[in-house]
Amino acid sequence: MTKGKSTKLFIALAIFFTFLIPSIHAASAAETDPYLKKIQKNGELRVGLSADYPPYEFHQTIKGKDKIVGFDISIADKIAKDLKVKPVITEMNFESLLGALKTGKIDMIISGMSPTPEREKEVDFSDTYMRVDQKVIVRKVDQNKFKSTSDFQGVKVGAQKQTTQEELAQNELSGSTVMSLQKVPDIILNLTSNKIDAAVLEGPVADAYVSQNKALAYAKNVKFANGQKDTAIALPKGSTALQDKVNASIKDIKDSGALKKYQATANKQMFLEESFFQKYKDYFLKGTLYTILLAIVGVLFGSILGSLLALMKLSETRWLRWPASWYIEFVRGTPLLVQISIVFFGTQILGLNLSAFLSGCIALSLNSAAYVAEIIRAGISAVNKGQMEAARSLGMTRGTSMRYIILPQAVKNILPALGNEFVSVIKESSIVSVIGVGELMFVTGVVQGASFKPFIPLVITSLIYFVLTFGLSRLLGVAERRMKTSD
């Protein structure tokens, strides 16, 4: 080989390695990364977050319309734009986010989340886009009581559930009792109403609340040893191609100074002025409608399934009786909260991508069915045994006597109890707020966060629930009296 030839060969090889190998690598990453493909195919980027976190992500009414805003949202928009897809924001409790990402309910979490070793076992993280300090806030009157992390002996400290703040409170505020709460507004409410005496919050969030609420102040001299935390985007494990894209967007945001602008906008949006009622009446209205809808669907399908179960339970065949009894026992013996989570996350594992609302409806119906079944069974059993014997001795079959003699009498026992069940379903539907269904309890949390008023929204909501349930029981009372007079 001549010298010239070998140089050419060398150059050719160099070109091959610099260009071809990385592109092979990139191609194989895209192939083994179904996550990016799925996003591109659906044309949607489903971003999960907990919008109780101003200025990261929070609700704000802009021109009479509820929107989730904040710099995390701007980041989500930017990433979606770079991927040429539409951003879809999915809201839920912070503690539910990792589960939702792992089961594929969402494509990524942009919710002020910090990478931690435990989380890194479950999901991958993008490059960090921010590094912030953790702060302790207290009631202003107590400001001088807390001078260092050792002044928290026996003090009740609030933090959001399953967050790094919770961990920090446990590890560094020695002797304190940590109260873990689901939503940041709950922490503030507990603090201002003396239920807890301090709270650990992410720096920017603490700033937002202290500037909004004159009764709150920083415990200035309390400094954590591990108080600096990174913020990054959580991605499904092994989503390397998606991760590359996200990192490129983050780099862009940081280098161009866009992040600073996002933050400035978010800070401005926190303090838009409008009257409380004007701003939030639509939230309550919508929440109430959802609550009513959930209750109606729950009771309706609950009654259908419940009647079936009751008939099964009353049947003479053991193979019908047993499953029905076990179902009823199981449902009545487990918390609704657990059932809702099972339906919401379980359907995803089975490959059904149900919306939170649909999951909520199903869970409520399945739950209500067990109670309705018992109501119907009890109603039927309460009819005097002699009635059946008399009917049978007149030559009627079991079926006809059931239909013409027993059921008409049983209905009088059943209907009032069914009305009460309706009332309970209205109240219990509040639990589906945990999976992010926008019913009354959920919007209450939203308004609490957006308005920085932790208490008033609760009062309003309790009044709405009361009007609903009281109105309904009155209506049922009238119906019951009518039925009595028709006897």
Q: Which residues lie near ligand ARG (CB under 6 A)? A: 49-50, 52-53, 56-57, 94, 111-114, 160, 163-165, 184, 202, 229
Q: What are the CA-CA distances from residue 48 to residues 33, 97, 202 (Å)?
A: 20, 6, 19
CB of 435 to ligand ARG, least distance (A): 16
CB of 354 to ligand ARG, least distance (A): 24
State the residue for tokens 């989570």.
Answer: 341
For ligand ARG, the closer CB: 169 or 297: 169
Q: What are the CA-CA distances from residue 430 to residues 46, 63, 137, 229 (Å)?
A: 25, 28, 30, 34
Taking the C-alpha atoms of residue 254 and residue 283, their distance in angstroms, rounded to an integer, is 35
CB of 50 to ligand ARG, least distance (A): 4
CB of 200 to ligand ARG, least distance (A): 10
Strands (E), 153-226: 156-160, 177-181, 198-202, 216-218
CB of 48 to ligand ARG, least distance (A): 10
CB of 115 to ligand ARG, least distance (A): 8
Taking the C-alpha atoms of residue 294 and residue 288, their distance in angstroms, rounded to an integer, is 10
Taking the C-alpha atoms of residue 232 and residue 250, their distance in angstroms, rounded to an integer, is 9
**CB of 132 closer than 8 Å to CB of 229:** yes
> Rg for the chain (alpha carbons), in Å?
29
For ligand ARG, the closer CB: 229 or 453: 229
For ligand ARG, the closer CB: 71 or 371: 71
For ligand ARG, the closer CB: 112 or 438: 112
For ligand ARG, the closer CB: 168 or 309: 168
CB of 300 to ligand ARG, least distance (A): 35
Taking the C-alpha atoms of residue 299 and residue 292, their distance in angstroms, rounded to an integer, is 11
Residue of minimal Cβ distance to ligand ARG: 163
- For the residues of 441-463, what is the DSSP string, one character each? HHHHHHHHHHHS-SSHHHHHHHH
For ligand ARG, the closer CB: 301 or 442: 442
For ligand ARG, the closer CB: 227 or 287: 227
Tokens linked to 470: 């009281």
